[in-house]
């Protein structure tokens, strides 16, 4: 039996409503806009926030890329990609540059995004002050009054407890000098890519029913202290074992056979492209 | 004479009610209440026309039985709660010419963070029990604009030492501390930005007698050293007697007697105060 879904799964009014929330989010950079998060055929917490954004935005001409922690091939990424494909019949790609819409969990791609592209980030915990203040009504007030002591206090606590700002991922940022925002659990390495991005960045939290945005060319600053400046993960003297890249976010892997650690690009499609480029160049040279 | 100076804080006609009021209780001059409570419309008049001046370096005591409106008054002064009506002027804020109650939320936050410190009876209200003790002090400094870790660390260590928290415990969470230690951390936090005014609401209530005495000694020593002005609230006249230069006696939301603490103890005028003093003997 074939089930007939509307294009992009949702009915038109649902998509319109999500788009309205999205427009509001773009109009107020960094502000969390509540929306009526829909039931999805995948479990909440598995990217339903991002997926709802994606489905509300795609048209027939779009080319979609889905990545999960840097990988296009993970079960999660593949099942989201399938759902988009099955309900829209649109094209998908692994190539960052070819995609018009990129849905991602925990990474911003290495290839710089360009104007016209949309990056959709999946967000598990949209409220950057939640650990400081459990009550939603109170955090709303703190945002309204731009009272962000709590965000700095949490960083201060990390310095007291661990000697440095240990937020490996989801390091809070100030957007457009107004709202403190959780960038989703991207590594600190990726925070800089949010600043003055050419692409539109949308963030969706399905379980928490929030949408927020960083419009193109918006100032995004990672929070820090005068004497403890924000520092990203450093891979300075590291290069990818596969493609030789430096200056990208890398995974440290362990070779059981030789018993040594090695590094590899976390963004697998970037790594693959680099390797293809190299073999093409080598091939051209030998010809 | 102390009275020649400008008051540090001047509280004028502070009222706080819970409920809308009704024709029976609207008019303060003719209202008939059961204690602080209108039996017709069930409005509670927690503070009724409370006025007093606090002078620089002075400790003023506020004493009265449970429910007399002391904590409500303190909450209004620290903007934890909005006063129904009345005015309060703070010398350290715009030369004392602006009614703080009429200021914006942002300005009230500024006043709280820079010009006042408060210690609550319940440390849960004044501290983040799961954060480090030094972080609790830093919070107030961050709120006042500090973005230097070393500055906050130094100040936090200095203050925690002042309130006798051992150095090796400053990164512990207050939830692991005894009641007396928690109150001392609260005091350190309240002092972090060198506020001219400190509000202490039943700081020693619920503590063992010996711990009570040590906390009161600490407050006295700090007050002498820093010259800070203090409003000290307690249901216990014994506590007020130990520290306060002057004392207000509250009953059913009203100030029923006011004077030098010694005078009130020796020669209480109101029947209610006499009763309080006798119970102390
Ligand atoms: N939120 C509230 N709603 C209604 N009544 C209140 C509220 N808060 C305090 N009260 C009443 O105000 C009166 C004064 O309370 P409180 O200021 O706590 O007294 P005290 O600190 O002197 O014991 C009491 O009768 C109390 O029941
Ligand atoms: Mg009380
Ligand atoms: Zn690589
Ligand atoms: Zn009434």
Give me the CATH number covering residue A53.
Answer: 3.40.50.11310
pLDDT at A258 over 90: no
A91-92 and A63-68 beta bridge pairing: parallel
Residue listed under structure tokens 């906050």: B152
Task: Report how far residue A192's alpha carbon sits from residue B246's, in angstroms, rounded to the nearest whole number.
Answer: 59
pLDDT tens-digit profile of B233-262?
Answer: 999 999 999 999 999 999 999 999 999 999
CA distances from A154 to A207, A258, B185 (A): 24, 41, 18
Q: In 3D, which of A97, A27, A91 has the Cα closest to residue A60?
A: A91
Both A171 and A254 in one domain: the answer is no
Among A132, A145, A156, beta carbon nearest to B149:
A156
Q: Which residues of A are catalytic?
A: 30, 240, 243, 265, 271
Provide the residue count of chain B: 281
Question: Of A115-119, A231-235, B274-278, where does the model show the most confidence?
Answer: A115-119
**A6 found inside a domain:** no
A227 contacts B150? CB cut-off 8 A: yes
| Confidence at residue A1, expressed as pLDDT on a 0 to 100 scale | 46
CA distances from B99 to A164, A205, B86, B88, B246 (A): 43, 43, 9, 5, 24
Task: Report how far residue B244's alpha carbon sits from residue B59's, in angstroms, rounded to the nearest whole number.
Answer: 5
The average pLDDT across A55-64 equals 96
Both A107 and A196 in one domain: the answer is yes
pTM of the predicted protein model = 0.92
pLDDT tens-digit profile of B169-180?
Answer: 999 999 999 999
Q: Two tokens at B226? A: 């820093």
Task: Report how far residue A203's alpha carbon sits from residue A225's, in angstroms, rounded to the nearest whole number.
Answer: 26
Task: Report how far residue A213's alpha carbon sits from residue A215's, in angstroms, rounded to the nearest whole number.
Answer: 6
**A107 found inside a domain:** yes
Provide the residue count of chain A: 287
pLDDT at B3 over 90: no
- Give ligand 1 pocket residues (Cβ under 6 A): B 18, 36, 44, 46, 64, 66-72
The average pLDDT across A193-210 equals 97
Q: Two tokens at A11? A: 């009915």
Q: Does A50 or A234 have the greater pLDDT score?
A: A50
Both A192 and A169 in one domain: the answer is yes
Task: Report how far residue A221's alpha carbon sits from residue A186's, in angstroms, rounded to the nearest whole number.
Answer: 15
Write down which residue in A189, A222, A255 finishes a domain: A222
Q: In what order do the strands lie in the sheet with B44-54?
A: B44-54, B9-18, B85-90
**Residue-by-residue DSSP string for A30-62:** T--EE--PPP-SS-TTSSHHHHHHHHHH--TT-
| Residue nearest to ligand 1 atom 21, measured at CA | B71
CB distance A194 to A220 below 8 Å: yes
| Confidence at residue A42, expressed as pLDDT on a 0 to 100 scale | 75
Among A145, A152, A225, beta carbon nearest to B109:
A145
Give contacts of B152 with chain A, Cβ < 8 Å: 156
Both A67 and A119 in one domain: the answer is yes
CB distance B223 to B217 below 8 Å: no
Among A150, A160, A225, beta carbon nearest to B171:
A160
| Confidence at residue A235, expressed as pLDDT on a 0 to 100 scale | 87
**A119 found inside a domain:** yes
| Confidence at residue A287, expressed as pLDDT on a 0 to 100 scale | 64
Chain A CB within 8 Å of residue B109 CB: yes
Provide the pLDDT confidence category of residue A256 given band limits of 50, 70 and 90: confident
Task: Report how far residue A217's alpha carbon sits from residue B40's, in angstroms, rounded to the nearest whole number.
Answer: 62
Give contacts of B131 with chain A, Cβ < 8 Å: 153, 157
Per DSSP, the three-state class of A136 is helix
Task: Report how far residue A267's alpha carbon sits from residue A71's, in angstroms, rounded to the nearest whole number.
Answer: 6
| Confidence at residue B1, expressed as pLDDT on a 0 to 100 scale | 46
- Start-to-end Cα distance in chain B: 31
B147 contacts A226? CB cut-off 8 A: yes
Neighbours of ion ligand 3 (CB under 5 A): A 240, 242-243, 245, 265, 271
In degrees and rounded to multiples of 5, residue B178 shows phi and psi of -70, 165
Distance from CA of A227 to the nearest CA of B (A): 6
A161 contacts B147? CB cut-off 8 A: no
B150 contacts A156? CB cut-off 8 A: no
pLDDT at B94 over 80: yes
pLDDT at A46 over 60: yes
Chain A CB within 8 Å of residue B104 CB: no
CB distance A140 to A128 below 8 Å: no
| Count of CB atoms situated within 10 Å of the CB of A171 | 25
Chain B CB within 8 Å of residue A225 CB: yes
Q: In 3D, which of A45, A29, A27 has the Cα closest to residue A37?
A: A45
Both A256 and A157 in one domain: the answer is no
- Start-to-end Cα distance in chain A: 54
The helix (run of H) or strand (run of E) holding residue B70 is helix B70-77
B246-251 and B254-260 beta bridge pairing: antiparallel
B9-18 and B85-90 beta bridge pairing: antiparallel
Provide the pLDDT confidence category of residue B267 given band limits of 50, 70 and 90: very high
CA distances from B246 to B75, B142, B159, B203 (A): 21, 34, 27, 18
B44-54 and B197-201 beta bridge pairing: unpaired
Ligand 1: nearest atom to the Cα of B64: 22
pLDDT at B150 over 90: yes
Chain B CB within 8 Å of residue A145 CB: yes
Q: Two tokens at A229? A: 């400046």
B150 contacts A160? CB cut-off 8 A: no
Q: In 3D, which of A177, A163, A171, A168 has the Cα closest to residue A192?
A: A171
Q: Provide the β-strand partners of residue B33.
A: none
B106 contacts A153? CB cut-off 8 A: no
Among A132, A147, A225, beta carbon nearest to B147:
A225
Provide the pLDDT confidence category of residue A43 given band limits of 50, 70 and 90: low
pLDDT at B2 over 60: no
pLDDT tens-digit profile of B194-222?
Answer: 999 999 999 999 899 999 999 999 999 99
**A3 found inside a domain:** no
* Domain count for chain A: 2
Task: Report how far residue A56's alpha carbon sits from residue A50's, in angstroms, rounded to the nearest whole number.
Answer: 10
**A261 found inside a domain:** yes
Both A173 and A275 in one domain: the answer is no
Both A142 and A206 in one domain: the answer is yes
Both A194 and A258 in one domain: the answer is no
Pick among A138, A148, A157, A231 to test the B interface (most B CBs inside 10 A): A157
Both A78 and A131 in one domain: the answer is yes
| Confidence at residue B280, expressed as pLDDT on a 0 to 100 scale | 79
Q: Two tokens at A248? A: 């990208």
Q: In 3D, which of A35, A42, A215, A207 has the Cα closest to residue A125?
A: A207
Residues of the domain holding A181: 12-222
A161 contacts B131? CB cut-off 8 A: no
Between chain A and chain B, the number of residue pairs with CB atoms below 8 A apart is 42
Chain B CB within 8 Å of residue A135 CB: no
Domain boundaries, chain B: 9-280
User: Closest-CA residue in chain B for A227?
Assistant: B148
**A101 found inside a domain:** yes
Q: Two tokens at A281? A: 């160049």
| Confidence at residue B228, expressed as pLDDT on a 0 to 100 scale | 96
Distance from CA of A214 to the nearest CA of B (A): 25
Q: Two tokens at A136? A: 């939603």
In chain A, what percentage of residues exceed pLDDT 90?
Answer: 83
Q: In 3D, which of A189, A224, A220 has the Cα closest to residue A203?
A: A220
pLDDT at B4 over 80: no
Options 3.30.450.20, 3.20.20.70, 3.40.50.300, 3.50.50.60; CATH of B9-280: 3.40.50.300
Give contacts of B106 with chain A, Cβ < 8 Å: 145
Both A77 and A46 in one domain: the answer is yes
Distance from CA of B112 to the nearest CA of A (A): 13
Distance from CA of A155 to the nearest CA of B (A): 10
Both A154 and A246 in one domain: the answer is no
Q: Does A233 or A156 have the greater pLDDT score?
A: A156
The average pLDDT across A156-160 equals 96
Q: Two tokens at A110? A: 């290495």
- Ranges A88-92, A170-174, A232-236: which has the least confidence: A232-236
Both A71 and A181 in one domain: the answer is yes
């Amino acid at each position: 039996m074939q089930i007939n879904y509307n294009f992009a799964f949702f009915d038109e009014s649902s998509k319109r409503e999500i788009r309205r929330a999205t427009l509001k989010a773009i109009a107020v950079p960094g502000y969390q806009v509540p929306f009526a998060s829909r039931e999805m055929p995948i479990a909440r917490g598995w990217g339903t926030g991002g997926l709802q954004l994606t489905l509300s935005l795609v048209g027939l001409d779009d080319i979609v890329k889905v990545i999960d922690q840097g990988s296009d091939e993970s079960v999660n990424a593949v099942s989201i990609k399938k759902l988009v494909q099955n309900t829209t019949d649109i094209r998908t790609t692994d190539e960052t540059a070819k995609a018009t819409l990129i849905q991602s969990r925990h990474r911003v791609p290495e290839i710089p995004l360009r104007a016209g592209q949309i990056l959709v980030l999946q967000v598990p915990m949209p409220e950057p002050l939640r650990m400081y203040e459990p009550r939603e009504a109170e955090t709303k007030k703190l945002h309204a009054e731009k009272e962000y002591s709590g965000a700095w206090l949490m960083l201060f606590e990390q310095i007291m407890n661990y000697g440095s700002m240990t937020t490996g991922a989801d390091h809070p940022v100030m957007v457009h000098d107004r709202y403190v925002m959780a960038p989703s659990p991207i590594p600190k390495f990726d925070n800089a890519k949010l600043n003055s991005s050419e692409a539109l960045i949308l963030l969706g939290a399905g379980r928490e029913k929030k949408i927020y945005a960083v419009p193109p060319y918006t100032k995004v600053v990672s929070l820090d202290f005068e004497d403890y400046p924000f520092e990203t993960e450093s891979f300075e003297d590291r290069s990818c074992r596969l493609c030789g890249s430096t200056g990208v976010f890398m995974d440290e892997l362990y070779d059981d056979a030789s018993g040594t650690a090695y590094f590899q690009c976390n963004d697998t499609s970037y790594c693959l492209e680099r390797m293809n480029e190299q073999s093409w160049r080598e091939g051209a040279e030998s010809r | 004479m102390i009275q020649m100076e400008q008051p540090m804080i001047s509280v004028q006609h502070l009222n706080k009610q819970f409920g809308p009021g009704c024709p029976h209780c609207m008019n303060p001059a003719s209202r008939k209440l059961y204690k602080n409570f209108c039996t017709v419309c069930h409005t509670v008049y927690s503070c009724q026309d409370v006025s007093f001046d606090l002078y620089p370096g002075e400790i003023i005591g506020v004493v009265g039985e449970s429910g007399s409106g002391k904590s409500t008054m303190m909450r209004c002064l620290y903007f934890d709660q909005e006063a129904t009506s009345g005015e309060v002027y703070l010398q350290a804020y715009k030369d004392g010419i602006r009614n703080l109650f009429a200021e914006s939320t942002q300005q009230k936050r500024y006043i709280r963070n820079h010009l006042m410190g408060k210690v609550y009876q319940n440390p849960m209200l004044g501290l983040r029990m799961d954060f480090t003790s030094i972080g609790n002090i830093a919070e107030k400094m961050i709120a006042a604009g500090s973005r230097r870790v070393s500055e906050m660390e130094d100040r936090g260590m200095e203050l925690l030492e002042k309130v006798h928290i051992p150095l090796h415990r400053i990164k512990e969470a207050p939830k692991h501390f005894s009641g007396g230690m928690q109150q001392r951390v609260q005091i350190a936090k309240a002092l972090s930005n060198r506020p001219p005014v400190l509000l202490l609401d039943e700081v020693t209530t619920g503590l063992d007698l010996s711990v009570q005495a040590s906390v009161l000694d600490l407050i006295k020593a700090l007050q002498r050293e820093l010259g800070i002005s203090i409003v000290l609230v307690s249901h216990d006249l014994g506590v007020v007697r130990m520290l306060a230069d002057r004392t207000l006696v509250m009953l059913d939301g009203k100030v029923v007697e006011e004077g030098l603490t010694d005078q009130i103890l020796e020669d209480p005028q109101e029947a209610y105060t006499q009763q309080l003093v006798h119970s102390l003997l």
